[in-house]
Amino acid sequence: MRDNAYGAFANLGSALAPVRGVRLDGGGFFASKGAAFSLILILLVLTVSALAPLLMPHERDAMNLDSILAPPSAEHVLGTDDLGRDVFTRLIYAGRFSMLVALCSVAIALAIGVLLGAVAGYFGGAADAAIAVVIDLFLSVPVFLVLLVAASAGGGRIWIVPLVIGGTSWMETARVVRSILIPLREEGFVEAARAAGAKDVRIVVRHMLPQALPAVVVSATVGFAQAMLVESALSFLGFGVQPPVPTWGNMLQNAHVFIGRAPLAAIVPGFMIFITCLSFNYVGEGLRRALAIER
């Protein structure tokens, strides 16, 4: 059944079954405790972030210059930051923005990657060659440097950040989709669809792309962690999401200055980035195993 790495998932339902926990085969997603635990952790972080306004007693941006860098107390569980804002409140709100930016970045990267990968894989020839050149170009430039320049050109507008991250991280997805579609061109069901008069777009979307779905899901999961790391680095350096909108990255902007006085405020946001990315990477590995995707 698994002679072709992707042939085993000819239809959408069986491809996503392990994700829904419907089918639990031996090598499946929940066979790995790490992946299962990570999924729970992600859901927990998502839920708490979503409910932030209900849970948090403090205003997100409320400053109190009389209690700057205060140590943890009953009122401020994680203390306050360099402007006297409650670190715990900002931490929870930051989760929303960090994850939202990562999500949008991944969505943009997937849109570009799947589109270009599908065009290259389905049409081949000149289109394939042209797209290969573009992919090569993006893989051979100092993406992070250009990304920093682009983000600074954006002047701190929040929607620039996912645009810039997504626009520079679609190459892996494009490669994967292309490599899956190329052998499918010769398959009987594609020939049949073509003989039945189906248009190119319909053949690709209805018949070929579903086969690439498992690989795209994995690539999106791992991509989420990567996008979050890039956003946090951008925001940390001051070129990403700008305060007062908090993200886990920009909460650390002045951390090296005050880490001696308020270590928790400097350590906890980074820890949130770390465990969230770790969880997404574990879920990605679990999915790869469960969906039997070889790379």
Partner 1 sequence: MRKHLARRLARIVPIVVLISIVTFALLHLAPGGPAGVLSGSARMSESDLARIRGNLGLDKPLPVQYLLWFKKVFLGLDFGNSYATGEPVARMILDRLPATLELMGAAFALALILGVSMGVVSAVRRDGPLDQLFSLVSVAGLSMPVFWLALVSIYVFSLKLGLLPSGGRETIGAPPGFLDHLRHLVLPACALSIGFLASWSRYTRAQLLGAIREDFVRTARAKGLSETSVIWKHAFRNAALPVFAVVVMQIPALFTGAVITETVFSWPGMGRLFYEGLARHDYPRVLGVVVISSFLIIVFNAIGDLLYAAVDPRISPGGAPSAVDTSAEDA
Residues that bind partner 1 (CB under 8 A): 137, 139-146, 148-150, 152-153, 155, 171-172, 175, 225, 229, 232-233, 236-239, 249, 252, 255-256, 259-260, 263, 266-267, 269-271, 273-275, 277-278, 280-282, 285, 288-289, 294-295
Q: Minimum distance from CB of 176 to partner 1 (Å)?
A: 10
Q: Three-state secondary structure along the chain? A: CCCCCCHHHCCHHHHHHHHHCCCCCCCCHHHCHHHHHHHHHHHHHHHHHHCHHHHCCCCCCCCCCCCCCCCCCCCCCCCECCCCCEHHHHHHHHHHHHHHHHHHHHHHHHHHHHHHHHHHHHHCHHHHHHHHHHHHHHHCCCHHHHHHHHHHHCCCCCCHHHHHHHHCCCHHHHHHHHHHHHHHCCCHHHHHHHHCCCCHHHHHHHHHHHHHHHHHHHHHHHHHHHHHHHHHHHHHHCCCCCCCCCCCCHHHCCHHHHCCCCHHHHHHHHHHHHHHHHHHHHHHHHHHHHCCCCC
Residue among 67 and 254 whose Cβ is closer to partner 1: 254
What six digits make up the tokens of 262?
Answer: 């308020």
Residue among 169 and 211 whose Cβ is closer to partner 1: 169
203 strand-pairing partners:
none
| Of 100, 114, 78, the residue nearest 264 (C-alpha) | 78
Q: Minimum distance from CB of 231 to partner 1 (Å)?
A: 10
Residue among 101 and 193 whose Cβ is closer to partner 1: 101
Q: Minimum distance from CB of 184 to partner 1 (Å)?
A: 20
What six digits make up the tokens of 45?
Answer: 């972080």
Whether residue 93 contacts residue 246, with contact meaning beta carbons closer than 8 Å, is answered with yes
Residue among 70 and 286 whose Cβ is closer to partner 1: 286
Q: Minimum distance from CB of 278 to partner 1 (Å)?
A: 4
Residue among 104 and 143 whose Cβ is closer to partner 1: 143
Residue among 105 and 190 whose Cβ is closer to partner 1: 105
CA distance 60 to 4: 52
Q: Minimum distance from CB of 269 to partner 1 (Å)?
A: 8
Q: Minimum distance from CB of 200 to partner 1 (Å)?
A: 27
Residue among 171 and 203 whose Cβ is closer to partner 1: 171
Q: Minimum distance from CB of 205 to partner 1 (Å)?
A: 26
Q: Minimum distance from CB of 70 to partner 1 (Å)?
A: 18
Residue among 44 and 137 whose Cβ is closer to partner 1: 137
